Amino acid sequence: MPPTNSPATRCGYVAIVGRPNVGKSTLLNHILGQKICITSRKPQTTRHNMLGIKTEGPNQIIFVDTPGLHAGEEKAINRYMNRAAISSTRDVDVVVFVVERARWTEGDELVAQKLQGLKCPLIIAVNKVDQLEDKGDLLPQLQALSERFPHAEIVPLSALRSTNLESLEKVIVERLPEGMHFFEEDQITDRSSRFLAAEIVREKVMRQLGAEIPYAVTVEVEEFEQQEKILHISAAILVERDGQKRILIGTKGERIKQIGQAARLDMEKLFDSKVMLNLWVKVKSGWSDDERALRSLGYIDKQ
């Protein structure tokens, strides 16, 4: 029997929402102390809802990292990402709305409108405050947010510098319901290692070629097998046109070689194993605007 004065266990789901490229995935990675979400300077890098699980003592926070909500829904993949982001705010215990310091955009307004009628507690994380030379410049933004969202808790922070993340976690935990933990103490995500490997490759493509091949890339892992001390991973990088394939491969294969080297280093850290990575490029015309193709590639729409 545990002592009667031991703290009650708390557990709940926390959706992290915001416009594209505001720092949601960086925030989650730094809270967890481990990289599970890919990041880049390109908007809409995150495409899937994924869970990041932090268990500390009696408290378990189950974060839902979401794609950035955006106005354009030209293709099936854009519609999928918006539905994924919106659905994350249903049936969660807390919503964290990430915005930037001293800035309010049309994208922020779109998210704010989607949050109208929210039934659970709202926390507004004002990110990138480390980029302000004069912290006084933040006051008008905080005042405007407190007037617009009178019942929300507002927490200024820097996800990249890990500034004030403890305050954010404290505010979240205070709003979690009491209850048993849903996941084992050492589990940090609900996603498979295979999924994480595909996302690492996609991140390296986005970082190197985001301007040339914006969002016409996805990754399909075809082999993921541990053989003695080496993890063998084979993955196809899918693009929509032959010209994109040539750009991705690069002169004499140099570009895809650089992508593979960078991805392998991250995989070895994440999986704590030596990795043998084999990459190639395939053309799959129109995959990003084909609902059936999206389902086959793991973009499963449950709505």
Q: Specify binding-site residues.
A: 18-25, 65-69, 127-130
Length of the chain: 303
Instruction: Determine the distance from the C-alpha atom of residue 216 to the mean position of all C-alpha atoms in its chain, rounded to a whole number.
Output: 19
Beta-strand relationship, 50-56 and 59-65: antiparallel
**For the chain, how long is the longest CA-to-CA vector?**
68
Instruction: Determine the distance from the C-alpha atom of residue 208 to the mean position of all C-alpha atoms in its chain, rounded to a whole number.
Output: 19
Distance (Å, whole) CA 268 – CA 296: 27
Q: In the chain, helix, strand, coil percent, each to 5? A: 35, 25, 40
Distance (Å, whole) CA 282 – CA 238: 5
> Residue 238, Cβ neighbours under 10 Å: how many?
21
Instruction: Determine the distance from the C-alpha atom of residue 160 to the mean position of all C-alpha atoms in its chain, rounded to a whole number.
Output: 14
According to DSSP H, which parts of the chain are helical? 24-32, 76-87, 106-114, 139-148, 165-174, 193-209, 242-249, 254-271, 291-296
Distance (Å, whole) CA 216 – CA 223: 22
Strand partners, 235: 221, 279
Structural contact between residues 21 and 42, judged by C-beta atoms closer than 8 angstroms = yes
Pick out the residues of the known binding site for GTP.
18-25, 65-69, 127-130
SS (H, E, C) 86-121: HHCCCCCCEEEEEEECCCCCHHHHHHHHHCCCCCCC
